[in-house]
Each structure stands twice: as C-alpha cells, then as structure tokens.
C-alpha cells in the first residue's frame, strides 16, 4: 500500500510518501511545498494545490493522511489560515478520489513513539531511525508528514 502523509501549513507543507508491504516500510519520497509571505493568499493556496496535485499524480498513493486541525483559543487566526491550506489539500484528495484519513497529533505520536505527549524531537528521531536516515531532515514538517504515513500503517495493522 502506498501512503501519502501531509503536514499542512501555509508557508511550509511537509509531505512523505511511503510503501507499506507486509511489515516493511519503504521511504519513496519526502520534501516540502513552500510559499512566501510576500505572495498573495490566493497565490499561496494555488501553489499548495498544484504541488499536492502533482505529488498525487507522480506518487499514485492509495491513501492520503492529514493532520487534524488543532485550534488554540489564543491563536484563532492561525487556525483560520491553516484551515485554508488544509481545504485545498482536501480538495486534491477528493478530485483524485483518494481516501483521506485524518489523525490528531497526539494519535500520531502515540502510534509512532508510544505516548501521545511525545516531543517533536522524539518523533523526528523515531522516524529517522525507522528509515535509517543519516541526518534529521531540515524541516520538522517532513518528519511530521512521514509520521502521519507511518501512523496510518501502524494503526491499520491492528485493524486487520
């Protein structure tokens, strides 16, 4: 099964594509889709939309996994902006007819590290270790996206 994990954001959207075959995970591709704060919102959303659309076309995932939106009452504007980025990503999933799965950050951390309150660094280390990466990726958004994909494969093992 090919899994596309996406950590949505307006400036740096992380993604990771893995293959899950029996009990083996294979990292196929990981990276970021970047936009600039100097661009208009509509341009930034278009870049994310086109980037994810191209990623789906190239990778041909069986499922897409996205982090659920967490709204902190002290930062409602951040949630609003993030929601727009998530919206265009959800649209790409619907257009490509790919199932979209959403997990909370704590659910992902529990599936990866074993505890829902694990730090970003712990998640990074676990993801890097699973794929024998020589160094941590430059952006935590990449390891977050890979963690989403890995979490899906781990959770699905227990459902079968």
Residues belonging to the active site: 7, 67, 141
Phi first, then psi, for residue 64 (nearest 5°) are -120, 135
Asked if residues 18 and 150 have their Cβ atoms less than 8 Å apart, the reply is yes
Q: What are the residues whose beta carbons fall under 8 Å from the beta carbon of 28, sequence distance 6 or more?
A: 2, 17, 18, 19, 59
What is the C-alpha separation between 63 and 30, in angstroms, rounded? 16
Q: What are the residues whose beta carbons fall under 8 Å from the beta carbon of 95, sequence distance 6 or more?
A: 53
24's tokens: 């083996």
Asked if residues 30 and 15 have their Cβ atoms less than 8 Å apart, the reply is yes
């Amino acid at each position: 099964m090919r899994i596309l994990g996406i950590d949505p954001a307006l400036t740096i959207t992380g993604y990771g594509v893995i293959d899950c075959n029996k009990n083996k995970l294979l990292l196929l591709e990981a990276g970021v889709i970047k936009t600039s704060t100097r661009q208009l919102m509509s341009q930034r959303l278009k870049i994310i939309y086109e980037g994810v659309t191209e990623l789906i076309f190239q990778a041909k995932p069986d499922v897409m996994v996205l982090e659920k939106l967490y709204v902190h009452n002290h930062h409602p504007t951040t949630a609003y902006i993030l929601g727009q980025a998530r919206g265009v990503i959800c649209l790409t999933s619907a257009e490509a007819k790919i199932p979209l799965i959403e997990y909370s950050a704590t659910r992902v951390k529990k599936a990866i590290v074993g505890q829902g309150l694990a730090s970003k660094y712990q998640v990074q280390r676990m993801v890097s270790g699973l794929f024998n990466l020589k160094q941590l990726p430059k952006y935590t958004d990449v390891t977050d996206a890979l963690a989403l994909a890995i979490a899906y494969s781990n959770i699905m093992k227990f459902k079968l």
